Chains A and B, each alone.
Chain A
């Protein structure tokens, strides 16, 4: 809506216009003039409105050097500080809003405020506004408004008066009763004498318009720096970057887990199996039941236990079956390990990105653990299916997402589960959120409990498959 006012022809910005030779032929001088004149109005009003805020300071300045006691000075100083801290934002915030609108005159870009959206209620508003930098930058702007106002006032009054007086001086002198006009270095007494000066008046008018342009530009730059937050595109780009780097981190984490799993499988576990086998071979040459044989049997049993433990550990880090066979088989394997009967229903036509499979797997693993520990359920259903995604639900960062994996774990237990009460689900919901997914838990008292996770299977950068 703001770009409507931009001059279609000629220089695009005030700065370019000022630098060019045809400044006076564009709309910029008139916009600058309007800006400067409204600055005078706003500044004048501000003088009165802000009086309670700066009054203690004028008193303080007046008291300094007048032989007042330190105590009196301190009290005045503190009251000044108090009024600034408590009342300055109340003046500066509306001033900021007004000035951002006015700024469109000379800088017709997107001038969004740097304010955050406060929570509902007066207290929420106050807490947000008084604590954010944008507010205090607006206060600083209000302070800067005073010298700007002074400068604009002097320049405009001087140049405008000069222009007007010069322009009408011949007319004035037509009147015989009118005394001579003193020009400083000379005195004009007849209209004829005044004519050359009247011809100079367009020059002063031009000077006024240039001065307005320069002041408006300077004022605009200051207003921009103090009042305007980063443009939305910039914020969005930053957010996208953060989202991406977060996803990369999660992916790197996933990759690392798979590496550890592989190292344990191919390294430690293989060695243990070889050790167990060596012990088995040793037994062949020993007399069965002899003390040596018993020792070897015990050693072998320990090695086998270690193999089992290691296998369980590896399963918790990253299940091999997930890498090799995909989500369906991995979920089925989880179901097989769960003491509660679990039905697994999946409709996933193809393999998914590793981080999606990993997250879905661990969500189900955690859910099943909770079911077993807390729910007292006798039946659990795990459903997973892939569907075209609802892009709106995921925000702009996921525009390229093509499909969403939905995973549901439903049990017939006692219900009353709470995600916030320190279950492992909190960490998982963070992990889901990183991927731009959602996690929902419904668990009324008396059950049933249902955990539903939606994961976008978008093209988040993947590490090379190990």
Chain B
């Protein structure tokens, strides 16, 4: 979305550590990251090396593939969760080849749930949107791939059924880390209307009033947890 994208030249560079075992994709990703103001300080190809590189370089952002050597299961995810526990506030974006809710919940459960993203690998094709997601995550937003949210919405469970179709849409966008303003623009409604929806969602999910960002994260989290267990 153009409204959310950041022009490459107008932002502060964020040193980034990249973990991806496929050479082709690693080179490509590095190119995209550099282009959008995320200078790659280290590009590694497994979980161990990722942890080492973060300890050494103290980056502002980690972009990691979930599936990496040696076992090719969820090494990247485990490394990411560990990193976030050891370095609160470290922004991490995990890339996955397929939608797996438990990956998303594992990630969101690590740390305070802020500054974390989970998205399908193929989203990197839309480089501007990808860069914008990275930027939002670095700024503390939570991003969950729209496909994950769509899958959640397909499941029938109590907390969800209490939400109206519009509220679900709003929740979906919240999960993608959009602000009220951005949601209002996407849905072509007023900011006030979005505020009302968000209020309703939080109330329906029994979340106490608190600072806005935190509650939003809580909403997404609560929602993911009820769904994936």
Contacts and interface: CB of A to CB of B under 8 A. Distances in A.
B32 A273 contact: no
Contact of A281 (B74, B99, B121, B127): B127
A300 interface: yes
B156 A304 contact: no
B128 A262 contact: no
A238 interface: no
B28 A324 contact: no
Given A270-B25, A274-B24, A280-B32, A325 B100 contact: yes
Contact of A307 (B8, B74, B122, B154): B122
A277 interface: yes
B151 A336 contact: yes
Contact of B102 (A271, A278, A325): A325
A300 B98 contact: no
B125 interface: yes
A324 B32 contact: no
A245 to B, nearest CB: 29
A273 B122 contact: yes
B155 A321 contact: no
B73 interface: yes
A251 interface: no
Contacts of B24: 270-271, 274
A17 to B, nearest CB: 66
Nearest to B152: A336
A333 B100 contact: yes
A279 interface: yes
Contact of B125 (A269, A303, A336): A303
A9 B19 CA distance: 79
B28 A278 contact: yes
B126 interface: yes
Contacts of A333: 99-100
Interface in A313-329: 315, 320-321, 323-325, 329
Nearest to B26: A274
Interface residues of B, number: 33
Interface in B4-51: 8, 22, 24-25, 27-29, 31-32, 35
B100 A329 contact: yes
Interface in B84-132: 97-102, 121-122, 124-128, 130
Interface string A268-299: 01111110111111011000000000000000
A321 B127 CA distance: 27
B179 to A, nearest CB: 24
Contacts of A118: none
Contacts of B121: 273
A311 B125 contact: no
A339 to B, nearest CB: 9
A281 B32 contact: yes
Contacts of A274: 22, 24-25, 27-28
Given A270-B22, A321-B98, A280 B67 contact: no
A341 interface: yes
Contacts of B25: 270, 273-274, 277
A336 B155 contact: yes
B74 A324 contact: yes
B32 A323 contact: no
A279 B155 CA distance: 35
B74 A273 contact: no
A280 B124 CA distance: 8
Contacts of A176: none
B63 to A, nearest CB: 13
A325 B124 CA distance: 24
Contacts of A278: 28
Contacts of A266: 22
A249 B4 CA distance: 54
Give the residue among A277, A303, A311 with the most B Cβ atoms within 10 A.
A277
B1 to A, nearest CB: 13
Nearest to B36: A284
A272 B24 CA distance: 10
A115 interface: no
Contacts of B122: 272-273, 276, 304, 307-308
A269 B97 CA distance: 9
A265 interface: yes
Nearest to B154: A336
A272 B67 CA distance: 17
Contacts of A262: 72
A311 B24 CA distance: 19
A24 to B, nearest CB: 75
Given A270-B22, A273-B121, A304-B122, A281 B97 contact: no
B99 to A, nearest CB: 8
A321 B73 CA distance: 9
Nearest to B66: A324
Nearest to A341: B156
Nearest to A330: B100
Contacts of B156: 341
Given A265-B97, A270-B24, A311-B98, A276 B154 contact: no
Nearest to B150: A336
Given A265-B97, A270-B24, A281-B32, A276 B125 contact: yes
A276 B72 CA distance: 23
B77 to A, nearest CB: 10
A323 B73 contact: yes
A274 B25 CA distance: 5
Nearest to A280: B127
Contact of B127 (A270, A277, A335): A277
A279 B124 CA distance: 11
Nearest to A277: B28
Given A274-B25, A324-B73, A280 B35 contact: no
Given A273-B124, A323-B73, 7 more contacts: A276-B125, A277-B125, A284-B35, A311-B98, A325-B100, A336-B151, A336-B155
Q: Which 3 A-B pairs have the closest CB atoms?
A: A276-B125, A280-B127, A270-B22
18 contacts: A270-B22, A272-B122, A273-B25, A273-B121, A273-B125, A280-B124, A280-B128, A281-B35, A284-B127, A304-B125, A308-B122, A311-B98, A315-B98, A323-B73, A325-B100, A333-B100, A335-B155, A341-B156
